[in-house]
Structure 1
């Protein structure tokens, strides 16, 4: 089997030397003022794995925690972005979920984004790291913060156990069941939507959506919008979007985070960091296709300073 082409914008740095990088960072932060350019150029052009090695080399050479040093030298949005880059990917997801759940109110957007887009394998890793780092069970915390059908679908996604492959015999049946659960009846059988969209494989669901369109003359998204509301509607739509195209889902989320009064920097940072080594090249292509402008230019117009420079590095180029 051919190795899949790498679709991240950040690649492992070729002539990597963790000790040398630690020295450069130390110099950049020594004395009065900080050489932000060195910090951002260096850290945004290393892979996360390499950043962890720099962190270890820094500790060994200077007896200090690199993350603590960066925190004391940087500030604002730029600091948030650099600290996110320094966090191992699974820990970053776990910390974002923890932040979304703790305290007053719940950041449902984060729950939906992470649980709808991550692979089953990744979700299982997140659960382990969440328990280790925050001492609680992710499922219990989600159930404590959410309710109803929305909670049920989150819990199903949290199992990270979608079926494999396409079940040809059940494509028509699933499409008919979804049609019967929504458009065909008065009221909605939400359980049916949750069960089918939460458990079937992406490949299987793509075929179910095609069959559904033939059956009902409208897309499954239209049916979800007319049959459900609130968080359940948003989560079902996120699942459908990720089934159709994960990069498309993130391109849309990035566009929403910028094209409004005031930029949603938390979402912008989270997506740019968490997808930089996964599928940023595909997200960029989807963004251009959907909105007719490049992600790079949009970031340029919506952000400033070192924060902007670092985001543009993570973007990996202008289409």
Structure 2
């Protein structure tokens, strides 16, 4: 009877396989009029000096699906593609943001990854942010778009632009499908993974990175969150402290990003945004990428976490570190002050 009771108790501790809830700041616009929006954009793009405010008002307050409809109507009206018109009328960070909004999530991520590996040098931070924070389904969509647009495999470009264990981790995330969430908590497997993870790192001289990669890229997110908790019973350090002691450089950054995203993805992005707005000015590429990619996903929750962790609202931080029409567009995507 004790075994039956224990099993039934485990059944109640269900992971669940439901889709992650969304907390968007940009939603479908009520009373949507794609023909009217297209005409407004046409007038804004034709006006002397360009009416940036109208462009911002339309494109930052419509969903991606609605922007596609507007682009279709704009092409019928103006006889040219909306993206071409935006490129010709805008420049700098505002141009990058508006063009980003015209892409699907997978298209945008694929283009960002390609840009990170283009020319001399590699933007490792962008590779880490995108690859470590996206789900299996999102990564599969990105690979498909990458193949269609660039006629190359994402894995080959990543392998050619990175090296060592850092490359192995990124490729494992791109290529490996995680275990599906289970409806029963497997305590034995949780304990085994925590113990193996400890024995492959802190307990031994040197680090068996392959073991770390295997566990962190194959197990489901709910399972891994329990492994992280169980790990503390074996190691004098928590998992992130262990990573800092065992590996360095881009591999350390990528392991930390992966663990942070598995634990609390919104906190990861809140911290990325805060880092992008430290000191004078701001890292516009990081701000643009996160607000464009998260505004229809979880930016509302990122806003809330940002204020709790950093003592000021995201809206205020953007106001202090950006300016002009670019600032107006970011604040519109942000969706309000907290």
Q: TM-score range by the shorter chain?
A: over 0.9
Distance 2:244 2:90 in 1: 43
Which residue does 1:104 correspond to in 2?
120
In the superposition, relative to structure 1, how do residues 4 and 210 fare at CA in structure 2: closer, same or farther (>3 Å)?
A: closer
- Mind listing any 5+ residue stretches in structure 1 that lack a counterpart? none
Distance 2:128 2:82 in 1: 32
1:5 offset after TM fit, Å?
A: 5.3
Distance 1:237 1:17 in 2: 44
1:123 and 1:160 in contact (8 A); partners too = no
Q: Does residue 228 of structure 2 align to residue 212 of structure 1?
A: no
Which residue does 2:9 correspond to in 1?
none
In the superposition, relative to structure 1, how do residues 197 and 6 fare at CA in structure 2: closer, same or farther (>3 Å)?
A: closer
Map 1:138-287; keep pairs closer than 5 Å: 138-165=154-181, 166-287=185-306
The size of the alignment, in residue pairs, is 319
1:115 and 1:154 in contact (8 A); partners too = yes
2:153 to 137, 155, 158: 137
Show CA shifts across 1:130-187 (max 9, x none): 0110111100000001111111111110025111225432111111111111111111
TM-score normalised according to structure 2 size: 0.91
1:181 and 1:192 in contact (8 A); partners too = yes
Q: Does residue 142 of structure 2 align to residue 126 of structure 1?
A: yes
Map 1:53-68; keep pairs closer than 5 Å: 53-68=69-84
1:52 and 1:88 in contact (8 A); partners too = no
1:178 and 1:193 in contact (8 A); partners too = yes
What secondary structure sits across from 1:245 in the alignment? helix
1:35 offset after TM fit, Å?
A: 1.1
Structure 1 window deviating more from structure 2 (90-99 vs 208-217): it is: 208-217
Root-mean-square deviation (CA), in Å? Answer: 1.5
TM-score normalised according to structure 1 size: 0.97
- Mind listing any 5+ residue stretches in structure 2 that lack a counterpart? 1-16
Distance 1:290 1:299 in 2: 16
